[in-house]
Amino acid sequence: MKVLNIGSMNLDHVYNVDHIVQPGETQATDGMNIFLGGKGMNQSIALAKAGADVYHGGMIGEDGQLFLDACKEYGVNSDYIRQIEGKTGHAIIQIDKSAQNCILLYGGTNECLTEEYVDEVLEGFEAGDMLLLQNEVNRLSYIVDKAYEKGMQIALNPSPFNDRLKEVDMSKISLFLMNEVEGGQITGLTEPEDIIAKVVELYPNAKIVLTLGKDGAIYAEGDLRIHQPIFQVEAVDTTAAGDTFTGYFLAGLIEGMKIAEILKMSAKASSIAVTRKGAVPSIPYRNEVMEAMK
């Protein structure tokens, strides 16, 4: 089975701050680094580092060569990435003393996908292949409709949640991977069990992974619930922790591993990612994750 991830590529401008800047406040920062990121690219690299055969689709601008280099370095197929005129997407990220972040997004070329481009990419895939999506590129509902028509399985990380997701026919999604904030935005509920019950009721054929920050993650499918606690670590940067979890989870699912084992591996991988700075550079390789699990 091939995995196609049509998703964002962002140059992350990361600022270390004392606290997340408040309205009207000016704050000097402790330093700035530029890392490769974007939920799409982070998840593709996590998939590849976990051992999956992954194809990344999306658009970069004239300043985006670094993403093609990263794909080569980490084993992500970049044949479907198009370099066009304009600026690659970027993010302005503040990391506070407790490793929490807040993110401002500039879509750039992530928002330049056309229907023709989507059709061309999907031609390379067939029924049974897996499509992974997040909400940082345009044409999302078109991509979902066309992939579903082909019989592809569709995994959606509805992040960041906004009105664009309301245009997507969620009944075509086979796997939701979301955090409790996004789950709350989709269902209007706050308690994890209620969110899960609602998503199961709305989309009975879908599998669900709900991540809960310090409370771990819950997998749900029909009446089945499996809880995975987090591994306690000293976090320095939580950016891409969720993306690492998503990539590892999908890789384990494709391999046919047992769900409890996949959850454990994914939690361990994201616990390693938060101990390192940056998005793409923080994602661990599979052998490192397996070694840490011993």
Region binding ligand RIB by CB under 6 A among candidate stretches 50-58, 166-174, 237-245, 281-289: 237-245
Q: Is 136 in the site for ligand RIB (CB under 6 A)?
A: yes
Interaction of residue 103 with ligand RIB, rule CB under 6 A = yes
DSSP-derived secondary structure letter, 27: -
Which of 89, 72, 96, 114 minimizes the C-alpha distance to 36?
A: 89
- 3-class DSSP assignment, residue 83: strand
* Nearest-angstrom CA–CA distance, 7 and 178: 16
Q: What minimum distance in Å lies between the beta carbon of 212 and ligand RIB? A: 16
User: 270, 276, 272, 226: which is closest to 43 by C-alpha?
Assistant: 270
Residue 42 binding ligand RIB, by CB under 6 A: yes
Instruction: State yes or no: residue 267 binds ligand RIB (CB under 6 A).
Output: no
Residue 37 or 252: the one with the smaller Cβ distance to ligand RIB is: 37
240 binds ligand RIB (CB under 6 A): yes
Which segments of 126-258 does DSSP mark as H helices, in order? 140-150, 180-187, 192-202, 241-255
* Tokens encoding 68: 């093609």
Asked if residue 244 binds ligand RIB (CB under 6 A), the reply is no
Which residue's CB is nearer to ligand RIB, number 129 or number 136?
Answer: 136
75 to 16, 141, 261, 284: CA distances (angstroms): 30, 28, 24, 14
Which span (31-39, 49-57, 192-200, 217-225) binds ligand RIB, by CB under 6 A? 31-39
Question: Binding residue for ligand RIB (CB under 6 A) from 279, 283, 284, 286?
Answer: 279
Q: CB of residue 41 vs ligand RIB: minimum separation in angstroms?
A: 8
**Amino acid at the residue 62:** E
Instruction: Determine the Cα–Cα distance for residues 88 and 177; give it in Å rounded to an integer.
Output: 26
Residue 237 near ligand RIB by CB under 6 A: no
CA torsion angle 77 80 81 82 (round to 10): 150
Should residue 236 be labelled a site residue for ligand RIB when binding is judged by CB under 6 A? no
* Contacts with ligand RIB, residue ranges (CB under 6 A): 8, 10, 12, 37-39, 42, 91, 103, 136, 239-240, 242-243, 279
